[in-house]
Structure formats: structure tokens, C-alpha cells
């Protein structure tokens, strides 16, 4: 089972954005030592509970403190940006950290309507142009525009010895099809989607134009030393998630969350428990979806329990 990490740079209870970014570096260093395959950072804008609007900046900091783990964005929200600039940035990262950089692309806004407008006044128009923007980005990445194209002689420098590996991230059919049509690896956000992931993976594999389709399943996991603590943390996560859906950005403590009941808690896609329980659930999920790789996102009330969760999970997977 290949395991990777999706880091949303959460701001832990009682901490600051600066603390959250340092925690991301701390987790990446641990992941590098434990042998996780890749480490991706998300992009969000003007949200109270997460700290990173610029994955490319945080990745350069993390890259300087790690040795071999692959690093990437999960994802750069392409409707906000010009493809040429995105490739310049990630070529720079790939030059600094050879053969370690992934370029994940997504189409989500990443924040409120107001923040989205501040970034991209014609966001919906740019979303509709997503297929064209992805194609243009890939031409810049590979420097293979047709000879009659305006950008034929334009290069996204610096030119790394190993290009960033492009990915498409998504939660619906459009992304699965686009990834297949553009010969891209595909990451499905299982933890945040109501769509049938098995159907999307089938759509991707069936329509893939290349030789080797590659799928990644992103899953929300909390692994603790006891079942009771895992349940408390899972409940805390779900209570705060439900509050955010209703527009409340206030982060509750574990004790405060205990006083809140959730009628549909048993239907959550969050996987929690001791390392034995979590390993069994992940193996069942792997058998059901048949991804090439699992990517784990974990949010807890404090950094210590997040580090512990990834440590326990790594030990569980390594055990036969």
C-alpha cells in the first residue's frame, strides 16, 4: 500500500497561522523520515481554519528541510492563474528539488465568493475554459506548441532536468474525463465528494488515452492509540466540519464538541480508530476502489496528535 499525505495546513486550536505553517514543515520532515511517497499542500484563500494560500511558497520551504519525499500542490487552482506563470513557478521548484515535484491542478475556487472575485473577477468564465487552460499548461510544460502557435518560441524557464509531474485533482466526472483525455494521473477527493468514486475511476481508466493510467484516492483519517480517543477526535472533526458548512468559522475545542450531537455521524467518510482498525478499513477501501495510491489527510485539535496519527499509520502499514 503506497501512502502519501495531503496537508491542508490546519490552524490548530489556540495557535496562529505562523504556527500552522511551521507544523506543515514539521509533518513533512516526519513524513520524509517515515517513507511516505509524496506530500501535497492545498490552496485556500481567506479561510479561518487553514493557513496556506500559496502552496508554491510553502513547498520551497518544505523542500529545503526534506531529502527525498515528493512534494506538490494539491492543487493549484488553475482558473485563478495563467498557465505560463504556473509552469515557471513549478519549473523553478523542480530545478531546486530535482525529480521531486508534482504539479496538481484543480478547478475549485478555494474560498468565499468575495475572495474568489478578488483573485479572478471572471472566475466562472475561467472554469469553463479549464480544458483549454490545462492543454496550454501542458504545452508550456513540455515546450511542444505547434510551430504556427503564438507561443511556439516561448519557454517557461528555468528548464529542469526532470519536469514537474502533472496531475489533475477532482471530485466529479468532468475532472476524471479531462485527466483521461490529457494523459494525466488522476486524484479523486474521496473525503470531500458525494460522487461515486468507483464510477469516476472507471470513467478515467476507460477513457485514458495513454498507456498507464494512475489513480490516487484521497481519504480523511484519524489514527489514535485508543478507540475512545479516536472517536472523540473524529467527532470533533465532524462537528467543526458541519459548522463550517453553515458558515460558522469558529473552531470548537474537543470538550465543546462533545456537547454537540450529529444525527448523520455514522455516515461520515472519515476513517478513525487504532492503527489496527484504520489499517483494516484502508485495506477494504483499497480493495473496493483499486487505487494505485492512497493519500491521507488528517486534521486534529493539536499538532501532537496529528503527528502521532501519521506515525501510527506508517507503522501499521509496514507491519505484515
53 found inside a domain: yes
Q: Where are the beta strands (DSSP E) in 78-214?
A: 101-106, 165-170, 185-188
Kindly state the average pLDDT of the residues 174-182.
98
Task: State the pLDDT at residue 38.
Answer: 98
pLDDT score, position 245: 81
CA atoms within 13 A on the CB side of 274: 5
Tell me the C-alpha distance between 224 and 226, whole Å.
5
Which position has the higher pLDDT, 244 or 130? Answer: 130
94, 64 in Cβ contact below 8 A?
no
pLDDT above 90: residue 251? no
Q: What is the pLDDT of residues 36-85, one digit of tens each?
A: 999 999 999 999 999 999 999 999 999 999 999 999 999 999 999 999 99
CATH code of 292's domain? 3.20.20.30
- Rounded Cα gap, residues 79 and 305, in angstroms: 35
The predicted-structure confidence for 124-146, as pLDDT tens digits, reads as follows 999 999 999 999 999 999 999 99
Count of structural domains within the chain: 1
147, 255 contact by CB (below 8 A): no
Residue pair 180/204 in contact by the 8 Å Cβ criterion: yes
Q: Among positive and negative, which fits the CA dihedral 280, 283, 287, 288?
A: positive
DSSP helix/strand/coil, 296:
strand
pLDDT of residue 93: 98
Longest Cα–Cα distance in the chain: 65
Residue 97 is classified by DSSP as S
CA distance 53 to 108: 13
Residue 222's beta-bridge partner residues?
272
Q: Report the Cα–Cα distance between both ends of the chain, in Å, rounded.
A: 11
Are the C-beta atoms of 171 and 143 separated by less than 8 Å? no
pLDDT at 264 over 80: no
The three-point CA angle 162-73-305 to 5° equals 125
Confidence of residue 262 (pLDDT cuts 50, 70, 90): confident
Check: CB of residue 223 under 8 Å from CB of residue 274.
Answer: yes
H-run or E-run covering 96: helix 83-96
Helix (H, G, I), strand (E, B) or coil at 107: coil
What is the reported pLDDT for 174? 96
Please determine, for residue 267, whether its predicted confidence score (pLDDT) is greater than 70. Answer: no
DSSP 8-state secondary structure symbol assigned to residue 45: B
Q: Give dist(CA 145, CA 122) in Å, integer.
A: 26
Nearest to 73 by CA among 6, 27, 138: 6
Per-residue pLDDT at 266: 63
Q: What percent of the chain has pLDDT over 70?
A: 99
Residue 138 is part of which domain span? 3-226+274-318
- Spatial separation of the C-alpha atoms in residues 278 and 271, rounded to whole Å: 7
- CB of 78 closer than 8 Å to CB of 130: yes
Residue 134 lies in a domain: yes
The answer to whether residue 263 sits within a structural domain is no
Distance CA 291, CA 36 (A): 16
Q: Are 55 and 121 in contact (CB under 8 A)?
A: no
Q: At what angle do helices 197-207 and 275-289 cross, to 10 degrees?
A: 40
Grid coordinates representing 68 are 527525498
Amino acid at each position: 500500500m503506497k501512502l502519501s499525505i495531503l496537508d491542508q495546513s490546519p490552524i490548530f486550536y489556540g495557535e496562529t497561522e505562523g504556527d500552522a505553517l511551521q507544523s506543515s514543515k514539521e509533518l513533512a520532515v516526519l513524513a520524509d523520515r517515515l517513507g511516505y511517497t509524496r506530500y501535497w499542500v492545498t490552496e485556500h484563500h481567506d479561510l479561518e481554519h487553514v493557513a496556506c494560500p500559496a502552496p508554491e511558497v510553502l513547498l520551497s520551504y518544505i523542500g529545503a528541510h526534506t531529502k527525498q519525499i515528493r512534494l506538490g500542490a494539491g492543487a493549484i487552482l488553475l482558473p485563478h492563474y495563467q498557465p505560463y506563470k504556473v509552469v515557471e513557478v513549478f519549473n523553478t521548484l523542480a530545478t531546486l528539488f530535482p525529480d521531486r515535484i508534482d504539479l496538481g491542478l484543480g478547478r475549485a475556487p478555494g474560498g468565499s465568493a468575495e475572495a474568489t472575485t478578488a483573485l479572478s473577477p471572471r472566475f466562472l468564465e475561467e472554469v469553463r475554459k479549464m480544458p483549454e487552460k490545462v492543454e496550454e499548461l501542458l504545452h508550456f510544460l513540455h515546450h511542444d506548441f505547434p510551430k504556427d502557435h503564438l507561443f511556439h518560441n516561448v519557454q517557461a524557464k528555468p528548464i529542469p532536468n526532470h519536469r514537474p509531474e502533472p496531475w489533475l485533482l477532482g471530485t466529479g466526472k468532468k475532472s476524471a474525463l479531462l485527466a483521461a483525455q490529457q494523459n494525466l494521473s488522476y486524484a479523486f477527493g474521496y473525503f470531500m465528494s458525494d460522487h461515486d468514486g468507483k464510477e469516476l475511476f472507471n470513467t478515467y481508466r476507460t477513457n485514458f488515452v495513454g498507456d498507464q493510467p494512475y489513480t490516487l484516492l484521497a481519504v480523511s483519517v484519524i489514527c489514535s492509540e485508543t478507540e475512545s480517543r479516536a472517536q472523540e477526535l473524529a467527532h470533533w472533526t465532524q462537528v467543526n466540519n458541519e459548522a463550517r458548512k453553515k458558515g460558522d468559522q469558529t473552531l470548537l475545542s474537543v470538550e465543546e464538541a462533545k456537547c454537540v450531537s450529529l444525527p448523520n455521524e455514522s455516515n461520515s467518510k472519515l476513517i478513525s480508530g487504532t492503527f489496527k482498525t484504520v489499517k483494516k478499513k484502508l485495506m477494504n477501501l483499497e480493495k473496493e476502489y483499486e487505487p494505485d495510491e492512497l493519500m491521507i489527510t488528517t486534521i486534529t485539535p493539536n499538532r501532537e496528535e496529528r503527528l502521532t496519527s501519521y506515525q501510527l499509520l506508517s507503522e501499521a502499514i509496514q507491519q505484515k
